[in-house]
Structures are given as C-alpha cells and as structure tokens.
Structure 1
C-alpha cells in the first residue's frame, strides 16, 4: 500500500499506513497514548436517521471488526518508555499488571456505559476524571470511539507529560490535538484514509491556534512513498 506522510510542523508527523509496518521505523518515543479498536463491532454504531442529538452519522468501514494481535502490543511496549492504552480491559491478557488504571467517568447515569478504562504502565494510584460526554458532542465527534480532547490531555498528564507521543491507532486525531495544545511532539499512524484526512485537518487546526504559553514549530511538508 502507499505510505503517505504528512509533516504538519517540526516534531509533528502523521503516517497513513499499517502501524505494524511503521512502528519499527520511528525509533524510540517517550510514550504511546492510544485507543485501539476493541474488536467488539463499535464501528459505524452512530449511523442512523441522524436523530441522535447531533451524533455523527459514521461511515461503516470495518474499523472495529478485529481485536489487534498481541504482537502489536509488544511493539508498543518496545517502542516507548510509558504507555496509556484506552480500552485496556479488552487487552488485559496482552498487558502486564498495572496499578494505575485511568477511569473516564462520563457523568451520565443512563443506558450507556458510565465510563471507560485505560491501562497505563505507571505503578501509581488509580485516577478518575469526570467529564460529561456532552463535551464530545460539542467538539463534533468524527469517529465511533472518539474521546474528548480534555480526556486525552488528562491521559498524557497521568503518565508524566512526555515530550514525544505516538498514537499508532490515531483515528480522527484527538491524541494529536491534545499533544499540539500541550506543545508536545506527536507521531500519529492511521490505517484508514478517511480518518487520516480528518486527523490531518484537526491537528493542523490545533497547531494554527497557538497557546500564548506554548512555543509552536512551523512549515508543513508532504511525502509519499511506497511500502
């Protein structure tokens, strides 16, 4: 397949391609913060008549049909010093024991799940972050399992605010948006081109809205090569 690379700024690089092929080429990063497909068929769940309080009508692209193989988690652990993996309860058989699980309390007590879990590599106390899911609707969800930016910023903080973050299952780019807002380096990898294009736009937009207290790099560059 074609491996497309977008350099959105110094230290901010996005790859369109298979993370199994790309992870071995990026070198060591400080941390992986990611939200892999769970293999439970959540992709396309919001596609309907559009009467879901503003929820996005996602295209069904088979995103969540298969749980990632154990080898991918071995690659993640090998390429990074620290990790935060959302949906870690679905991959606990692949991951080492951990003290610091993260809980996103969605602040809702209706039929949907009360919250979501993330496994981390940190040997520290469990942490809970409460943010109503309406925050995601305000941002305009563009992926079936998209997290609010504030949840991903909090996730990064819970593993020590590393300088360079990789997300091998980038989706619509929320981890990259959070990293950009925090002035951190980011390497994103996404297999599906529609989501990759969304991620490029969202992260570029975040980079174009600089925080007065965060230094921003410049000048995007595009590459394309065949794998």
Structure 2
C-alpha cells in the first residue's frame, strides 16, 4: 500500500505548474512571511535571528524565501496563489498562515490570485512574551478563501485556535524541526475542512506538519519544500510518525 503523502524538493511555483487542473480539494500552507522586522535590513537577516533570536546558535537550519520587501512579496504571493487556483477544483479551499504585518497584503494577494476571500481565523499563542507599554503580539492568522462558490456541508470548524507553538522539551527532544513550525493539533483540525480521502496540497511544506496532519486525519497530501535539509527532515518525520 502506498503512503498517503508525497513530498517534492524544489520550488513551489515550478511544482504547482506540473500539477493537473482541478486535481486537488485544498491548499493548506504556511508560506514565508518576509516579516520579522520593521525595516528591509530586518527582513533580509538570518531567519534564526528573526524567529528565534538565536543567530548561528540554533540547531534548526535557516530557510529561504523570507527576504522580499512588501511589494515584491505581495506580487509573488499573487503569482503562486493564481497557479494554486488552477490546480484546486471549483469550490475548493485555500487556507494560509500569516502574521499581523503581512495580513493586509495577504488578503489582497489571495483575491488577486482569483480566490474568494472568506475570512480570518486567529491562532492565539498563550505563552507569547509580553512587552511593557504595548499590546502583546500573541496571534498569528489563517487567511482562507474558496475557488468560487462553495456549498455548505461537512465539519463545523472553530473560529479561532488556542495553542502553544512547538518547542523542544527539557530533555532535549527536538519536537521543533522548523523555525516557523505550526502546532500539529491545529493543523489536524484545519485539514478537516475537506472530506476524508481528498487531496490537500502544501507548496511550502517546512516540517511536513500539514502532510502529517492530513495523513493522520485520513486525507491524502502532496507537498513541496525548497530547502533540501528541511525536505529530508520532513520525510524522516513522516516516515517515523506513520510507519510507512
């Protein structure tokens, strides 16, 4: 019996272009935010410094594609989102993560790519670091839409999530394989927006969390990851978790 997932090592745009039209039920993904700072010099910095504060002292590798300025990021997003709309069947779903800085541009790019914007789902992180004299930045956001009209039906999903980001435990076990890795429980809920057995795509697979969530919930998944080290780590994680 073949595994319920595949993972390609390469560029997301090139990979999407190889896929058949109307062949998938959803894209659920976490693209590079090109955020992590107020200035261009911040955005082009070491991703370990931006997302963990541990430049050159973190066991997790850097990742690519996180150094675009605001205009080029929005244009690039619209390009791959348009190709994703071709691959996802009419009525199918797009759900992608972003942060507060890129939220306005992300909702514009979604619509520029041909999707119908349906809403925003906050992911609240209860262990976010507070800052004196400021509101705590303890939310990331899921922007979602559909490829045209979508009939009602299927699971009733929550309007927000409360979950801690993956961390390494006190015994040194590496639960966190990627600097921007999302909680598995959150992703297991998200994939339920499509029916069991249907195909979910993740063009920015990272640690493979979407693919693992889909497989655990009885969905099929295909992903793409640009960074060879992260692609290898995701494959090892999936093989170990699913015993494939």
Does the pair score TM above 0.5? yes
Kept in 2, the 8 Å contact 1:104–1:128? The answer is: yes
Q: Shift of the alpha carbon at 1:196?
A: 0.4
Shift of 1:146: 0.6
State the partner residue of 2:159: 127
Give yes or no for contact 2:61–2:229 (8 Å, CA) kept in 1.
no
Cα shift at 1:11:
3.8
Instruction: Report the counterpart of residue 212 of structure 1 in structure 2.
Output: none
Structure 2, unaligned runs of 5 or more: 36-42, 131-135
Q: Is the partner of 1:116 in helix, strand or coil?
A: strand
| Contact 1:168/1:188 (8 A) holds in 2 | yes
Q: Quick check: which one's helix share is greater?
A: 2
In structure 2, the CA distance between the partners of 1:131 and 1:175, relative to structure 1 (3 Å rule), is: same
- Written as runs of structure 1 = structure 2, the 5 A alignment for 1:45-124 is 45=49, 46=52, 47-48=54-55, 56-66=58-68, 67=73, 68-80=76-88, 81-87=92-98, 89=103, 90-96=105-111, 98-108=117-127, 110-111=129-130, 113-121=137-145
Q: Which residue number in structure 2 is paired with residue 33 of structure 1?
A: 28
Q: How many residues align?
A: 195
Q: Does 1:197 align with 2:242?
A: no
Within-5 A mapping of 1:169-188: 169-188=204-223
Q: Return the offset for 1:183.
A: 2.0
Residues in 2 aligned to 1:114 and 1:32: alpha-carbon distance in whole angstroms:
25
Q: Is the 8 A contact 2:5 2:220 kept in 1?
A: yes
* 1:205-227: CA deviation from partner (whole Å, max 9, x where unpaired): 2221xxxxxxxxx6xxxxxxxxx
TM-score by length of 1: 0.75
Q: Unpaired segments of 5 or more residues in structure 1?
A: 1-7, 51-55, 209-217, 219-227
Deviations 1:102-127 (A, max 9, x none): 11111235336311101111589971
CA distance in 2, matches of 1:78, 1:141: 33
Of 186-195 and 199-208, the range deviating more from structure 2:
199-208
- CA, structure 1 residues 191+121, in 2 after alignment: closer, same or farther (shift >3 Å)? same
Summarize deviations over 1:56-102 as a string: whole Å, max 9, x none. 53333444113344211111222112111111724122113633321
Asked whether the 8 Å contact 1:43–1:63 carries over to 2, the reply is no
